[in-house]
Amino acid sequence: MSTDAFVAPPTVEVRVPPRSWRSEVRAVKIVWRRELIRFQKDRMRIVTSLVQPLLFLFVLGSGLQQLSAASTDGVDLKTFIYPGVLCISVMFTGMFSAASIVWDREFGFLREMMVAPVRRSSIVVGKVFGGATVASLQGLILLALAWAVDVPYSLGLVLGVFALQLLLAFSITAFGVMIAARITQIQSFMGVMQMIVTPMFFISGALFPSGDLPGWLAVLNRLDPITYAVTPMRTLVFANLDLSAEASQTLNPPITWFGWEVPIALQVFMIFALGMAMLGIAIAEFNAGD
């Protein structure tokens, strides 16, 4: 076979389109879409990631109700825990979404994305947005359970909860992707994530009011970023309930820093800012890799 023998007529023309910001947008979009397609195909994951929030909500909620009936001013414990559970479901799904980057690396697919002629940041952004979307879709399933815990529906509730879930999911996924840039083994990754996310969840006050906590816990609670996602979520859900002022004060006390009441808007902004910062670190880390 000699190299000059091919003067065959129908040579296919080589088409290489020029490079522009559009190619970056396309890259973000397709990476995002891939997360959705995979989520859709993975029914098992949808079911299994519902188990934990449902346990908290119905088993822990119903079980502890007997002890706490006196101190919740007539509010069902399930109703009280509900906003926390809306947060936890998003947190754990977001974590799994981030883990998919570790899987992708293990199965080689990350390489296919990393060698593409687009910015690494586009890949990371697509991945984080994809993970956030998937996690908040999962959150919608839990939102459908509001009737079971006596929370009446309203357009404001649905949109507000979805927006908050999207924001929290974005930050958690960005956090996970940032970790995934460094930890390349799935076992270690899940271990590290559990070790960080579980305490953050417990300390955040998702399962208890953050008012009269012992000093050490109050400090940890104020340092825990998740606190600033749980409080707005609870405020939003409670706004839909007909609660007495006392009940509202006991169950959803405002977060204070040395006596200063932190506005809800600032809390929401903190979650967003943290998410953006971690996304930035994640991009820098993936850019630095070979």
Which residues form the interface with other proteins (CB under 8 A)? 1-3, 6, 8, 10-17, 19, 22-23, 26-27, 29-30, 34, 37-38, 41-42, 104, 107-109, 111-113, 115-118, 290
Q: What are phi and psi of 240, to 5 degrees?
A: -90, -5
Residue 7 C-beta: closest distance to other proteins, Å: 10
DSSP H helical segments within 107-185, as ranges?
Answer: 109-114, 120-143, 155-182
Helix/strand/coil for 72: coil
Residue 89 C-beta: closest distance to other proteins, Å: 22
CB 253 within 8 A of CB 80: no
Residue 280 C-beta: closest distance to other proteins, Å: 21
Residue 12 C-beta: closest distance to other proteins, Å: 5
Residue in 251, 206, 212 with CA at minimum distance from that of residue 230: 206
Query: Whole-angstrom Cα distance, residue 227 to residue 223?
Result: 8
Residue 35 C-beta: closest distance to other proteins, Å: 11
CB 57 within 8 A of CB 81: yes
Query: Whole-angstrom Cα distance, residue 158 to residue 16?
Result: 45
Query: Whole-angstrom Cα distance, residue 248 to residue 112?
Result: 52
Q: Roughly how many angstroms between the first and final C-alpha of the chain, as a whole number?
A: 38
Measured from the CB atom, is 23 or 65 closer to other proteins? 23
Measured from the CB atom, is 41 or 260 closer to other proteins? 41
Measured from the CB atom, is 113 or 226 closer to other proteins? 113
CB 58 within 8 A of CB 149: no
**How many other C-beta atoms are found inside a 10 Å radius of the C-beta of residue 74?**
9
Measured from the CB atom, is 74 or 108 closer to other proteins? 108
Measured from the CB atom, is 15 or 147 closer to other proteins? 15
Measured from the CB atom, is 8 or 67 closer to other proteins? 8
Measured from the CB atom, is 128 or 161 closer to other proteins? 128
Residue 19 C-beta: closest distance to other proteins, Å: 7
- What the block records as the tokens of 70 is 């006196």
CB 230 within 8 A of CB 206: yes
Residue 6 C-beta: closest distance to other proteins, Å: 5
